[in-house]
Every structure is written in structure tokens, then in C-alpha cells.
Amino acid sequence: HSRVGNGLDASDRDGVINIAQWPIKGMYLPDSIQTFKDRGTTLLVMANEGDSRAYEGFDEEERIGGITLDPIAFPNATALQASSQLGRLKVTSTLGDTDGDGDFDALYSYGARSISIRRTDGTIVFDSGDAIERLVAAELPANFNAASDSNAFDGRSDDKGPEPEGVVVAKAFGKDLVFLGLERVGGIVIFDISCPEQTEIIGYINTRDFSEDPIADLLTAG
């Protein structure tokens, strides 16, 4: 996430939309994978939601504000660990201590907040980077990164942002398309994958009514 085009909003406590580059790495950890053919070649589409191992007996989740950062790798550790910066972001405790001295030399967060298209050997053909999160920011600025059970602005930025969840590959209007569901803020992002290397977003549909209480609606529907 330190590269241009791969930024993310890392804090739910800064009160603003701040999709920026940060000195962290994201583990892709796709939630769903679909295949399609491009000129006879099988390609994979992955929704890079990310998920942690947090259950009875083992929990790898840590917030950056609560761990010790290596002073050489992170000379500005105090600033980075503020809640308005990286302090609230969740990372794994199982990676990052590269020299075994008890502090973190690298940081690995969950998911990439993107979709990837890969060859079957794992080579990346396309990755959407921070385009999905920027789309949500543009389309839903008042409810940016809202959770599924709350309309609160910026509520999921410290977790996995909009959380790309499920992908469906289809053909329509002479194009090869991917329909991507966002788990938290909701909605369907539509990608044109007719030329996989030049995949682009061509639409976003979100029928969620942010004036309503999502919990009340869920209980009524249930």
C-alpha cells in the first residue's frame, strides 16, 4: 500500500476520507474466485476481501497502535501509531518480525480492497488497487466505508474498507463483465474485463437507503 494507486483509508478516527499511501502490505486473501476464458487462456478473478484468524485458541489480530515498531524500519513510529493515522488498522501478528527481535519490521494488513485478475500460475494481469475505495468515496461521501449494520461515516476504514466479497463473471451487451458485491457499504461494482489488462469500472449500483436504520430493517425483513 506504499505504491501510488494502491492506497487505502486506514483510520476510522480521522473524520475525513483519506485514501493515501502507507508503509504497509496487504495480504490479498480472496473471499471468492471465479474463472473465465480470454483468447483460450484461463484467468482467475479474485475478490480480495481479506479475513483474519480470530477464534477461541488463536487470535492473530493486532492494531498497529498496540504493537512495537522497529525504530529503523519505522523512524516515525509515534506519528504512525496515532489513531488518526495507522494506529487503528488491524494487522497480523504472525508476520513482520523479520529479524526475530520482538518488534515489527513490516506490517501486513488484511485484504487488498481490490479485485485481481491472475493467470493460473498466479501472475497478476490486472489489479484494481484503490479504485473501489475511491469509487465509494466519490459516490457515497457521506457514508464512506459504512458498516453493514451502521450508517456511520468511515466506520470500516480500520478493518477492510468496502470489503470486496463476491464476484460473478458474465457476458452482456457484447462485453465480458465482472459483477462485484461489496459486503459492508453494499452495492455492486461492474467491471468491463473484455481486455483483461485494461479492465475498467463501468458502473456502480447501490440501492441501500442510508436514511433508514439497517438493524431495524434487518429485524423487520427477518
pLDDT average per 10 residues of sequence, the chain (222 residues): 98 98 98 96 98 95 98 98 98 98 98 98 98 98 97 96 97 94 97 98 97 79 56
The pLDDT score that the predictor gives to residue 215 is 85
- The pTM of the full predicted model, rounded to 2 decimals, is 0.94
DSSP 7-25: -B---SSSSS---B--S-E
* Helix residue ranges per DSSP H, the chain: 77-80, 131-139, 214-221
Q: Are 169 and 34 in contact (CB under 8 A)?
A: yes
